[in-house]
């Protein structure tokens, strides 16, 4: 698994550990995380021979957070524990491919990156 500008690239493997395919993921919250606001959504999209993971990552880097809600992808809703949310939020900003807009993210204690609108 790797993360680029808040977008995860995941290599799926079968039971024997052989590569099975790539997927792209993004963790999204409605606002910067606090212990009172700890719900996140996990969006995942499998790469295909027609649409490789690198193309999905690039496209997702251009999207605003609200566009994931409109994408038709069915997110998995997760609730973070208070131990996963840092006392002091570590915000990271990534410039999008257009060179102008910024993707805002928060890094969890566990190292995962959550994007927010």
Could you tell me how many helices (H) and strands (E) the chain has, helices first? 2, 8
Range of the domain at 13: 2-116
- Give pLDDT, residue 75: 92
Q: Count other C-beta atoms under 10 Å from residue 110's C-beta.
A: 11
pLDDT in tens, 10-28: 988 889 988 888 999 999 9
- How many Å apart are CA 56 and CA 67, to the nearest integer? 14
HSE-CB for 5 with a 13 A CA cutoff:
19
- How many Å apart are CA 72 and CA 66, to the nearest integer? 12
Name the residue among 35, 101, 22 with its Cα closest to residue 65: 101
DSSP secondary structure code for residue 55 in this structure = H
- Give pLDDT, residue 92: 87
Overall number of domains in the chain: 1
- Give pLDDT, residue 44: 92
- How many Å apart are CA 75 and CA 97, to the nearest integer? 24
Q: What is the pLDDT along the chain (117 residues), one digit of tens a residue?
A: 788 888 999 988 889 988 888 999 999 987 777 666 678 999 999 999 899 999 999 999 888 877 887 888 899 999 988 888 888 877 889 888 888 888 888 888 888 888 886
Name the residue among 76, 18, 21 with its Cα closest to residue 10: 21
- How many Å apart are CA 40 and CA 78, to the nearest integer? 5
């Amino acid at each position: 698994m790797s993360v680029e500008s808040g977008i995860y690239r995941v290599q799926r493997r079968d039971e024997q550990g052989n590569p099975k395919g790539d997927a792209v993921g993004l963790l999204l919250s409605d606002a910067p995380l606090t212990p009172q606001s700890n719900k996140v959504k996990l969006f995942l999209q499998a790469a295909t021979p027609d649409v490789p993971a690198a193309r999905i990552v690039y496209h997702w880097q251009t999207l605003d957070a609200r566009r994931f809600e409109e994408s038709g992808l069915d997110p998995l809703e997760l609730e973070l524990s208070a131990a996963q949310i840092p006392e002091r939020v570590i915000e990271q900003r990534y410039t999008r491919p257009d060179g102008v807009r910024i993707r805002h993210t928060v890094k969890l204690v566990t190292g995962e990156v959550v994007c927010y609108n």
